[in-house]
Amino acid sequence: MFLHRAGRRVGRSCIHQIPENAQMLLCRAKLAAVVAGILLCFAASMVEATGQTAKVPHRSDVRTNRRATLSADPARAQIPDIDVLDQNGNRRHFYRDLVRGKVVAMNFIYTTCTTICPPLGATFGKLQKTLGERTGKDVFLISVSVDPATDTPERLRAWGAQFGAKPGWTLVTGEKTELNRLLRALGVEAASPESHSPMVLIVNDKAALWKRVYGLGSTAALTQNIEQMMAVAPAGASEKRP
């Protein structure tokens, strides 16, 4: 039924000026893309369903970025490769240097936030301890400032140090408009720093999977979600098998 509706919607959107056989091909291609998307959503929702914090999988919770179906490098198209400064004052490319090919968990903080950010920081601190040597190797933690006008690299370094941030946990700030572009792309843009989201975004870039988790929930559940994301095979891996 759903497929049927989806098919009709695709059908209506086809441009009637195109020759009939070309229209048919275009419509089939679109239909195939929709079906592939639904299947991928289902596959991703299976991952989600095993998490404790988000019991109901939703299309918006898991974005599928299969290279084969969208573009040659869709994740990069989704995550702007903006210039950022890390806590040591080093200039980094957000996507290329911090996300590409990795499993990352991101939270969104600002250093003068006193209500929800300390628990968010403490959660990442505990996460880092729990994951041990895998942090910085199999999984990377990123804290993105939502108040870059105030948060200098020095401030971020001091903030991270309170929670025992070690290599493998990168805290980033940058030019405000650029960071806003990043936050918008990640779906966490807020009208003001005070209303920022307490969400943790887990990205498996190789498998092109995103997952959003409540950042103030249990650390054990967050760890479990990250481990599940780490266990997902990279996109295209099955295609490579003989």
Partner 1 sequence: MALQQTEFLRRALWHVVSGVCLFFSLGAPALRAAPLTPQESCGRKIYFQGIDCAGKEIKGSIGDLEVSARLQPCASCHGADGKGRPESGQDPGDITWRYLTVPYGHTHANGRKHPGFTPWLFQRAVTSGRDPAGGKLSTLMPRFRMSPASAAQLVAYLKRISTDTGPGVEPTRIVLGSMAPLQGVNAETGNAVRAVLTAYFDDLNQLGGIYGRRIVLRLAATGVGSAMALKSARRLMATPVFALVAPFVPGTEKGLAALARASNVPLVGLLALSVPDDPANREVFYLLPGFEQLEQELMRFAAVEGELVPGKTAVILADDQLQVDVSAAMQGTWQELGIRRPGEFSFSAADGARIAGDLKSRGIDTVFFIGGGEQVLQWIQAADGVEWAPRTFVLGPLLDGGIFTAPARFQGRIFAAYPQLQPELGGVDEFEDFLKRHKLASDHRLIQISAYCAAKVLEDALTRAGRNLTREKLILSLEQFRDFKTGMLPGITFGPNRRIGSTKAEIVCVDLASHSFQPECGKPQRPD
**15 sits in which H/E element:** none
Residue 153 engages partner 1 in binding (rule: CB under 8 A): no
204 DSSP assignment? E
Both structure tokens of 17: 């000026």
Q: Which of 23, 45, 152, 224 binds partner 1 (CB under 8 A)?
A: 152
Return the number of the residue (73 or 154) whose C-beta is nearest partner 1: 154
Residue 118 engages partner 1 in binding (rule: CB under 8 A): yes
Residue 158 engages partner 1 in binding (rule: CB under 8 A): yes
Residue 164 engages partner 1 in binding (rule: CB under 8 A): no
- In whole angstroms, the minimum distance from the beta carbon of 53 to partner 1 comes to 11
- In whole angstroms, the minimum distance from the beta carbon of 123 to partner 1 comes to 6
Count of residues that interact with partner 1, criterion CB under 8 A: 27
Please list the residues that pair with 103 across neighbouring strands.
204
Residue 166: which of 120, 220, 126, 205 has the closest Cα? 126
Q: Which of 45, 69, 219, 224 binds partner 1 (CB under 8 A)?
A: 219
Return the number of the residue (25 or 220) whose C-beta is nearest partner 1: 220
> Could you tell me whether strands 209-214 and 199-204 are parallel, antiparallel, or unpaired per DSSP bridges?
antiparallel
d(CA 211, CA 53): 11
Distances (CA, A) of 2 to 28, 38, 70, 161: 16, 10, 22, 51
Is residue 207 packed enough to be buried (19+ CB in 10 Å), middle (13-18) or exposed (0-12)?
buried
- In whole angstroms, the minimum distance from the beta carbon of 17 to partner 1 comes to 49
Which amino acid, one-letter code, is at 186?
A: L
Q: Which of residues 194-213 bind partner 1 (CB under 8 A)?
A: 194-198
Can you tell me whether residue 96 is helix, strand or coil?
helix
Contacting range for partner 1; rule: CB under 8 A; set: 38-46, 165-173, 204-212, 216-224: 216-224
Contacting range for partner 1; rule: CB under 8 A; set: 5-13, 54-62, 117-125, 232-240: 117-125
Return the number of the residue (74 or 121) whose C-beta is nearest partner 1: 121
Return the number of the residue (50 or 162) whose C-beta is nearest partner 1: 162
Residues 26 and 14 sit within 8 Å (Cβ to Cβ): yes
Q: Which of 22, 28, 33, 154 binds partner 1 (CB under 8 A)?
A: 154
List CB contacts of 128: < 8 A, sequence separation 6 or more. 135, 141, 164, 165, 166, 168, 169
Return the number of the residue (146 or 207) whose C-beta is nearest partner 1: 146
Radius of gyration for the chain, computed over Cα atoms and rounded to the nearest angstrom = 20
Residue numbers of the site for partner 1 (CB under 8 A)? 112-116, 118-119, 122-123, 126, 150, 152, 154-155, 158, 162-163, 194-198, 216-220
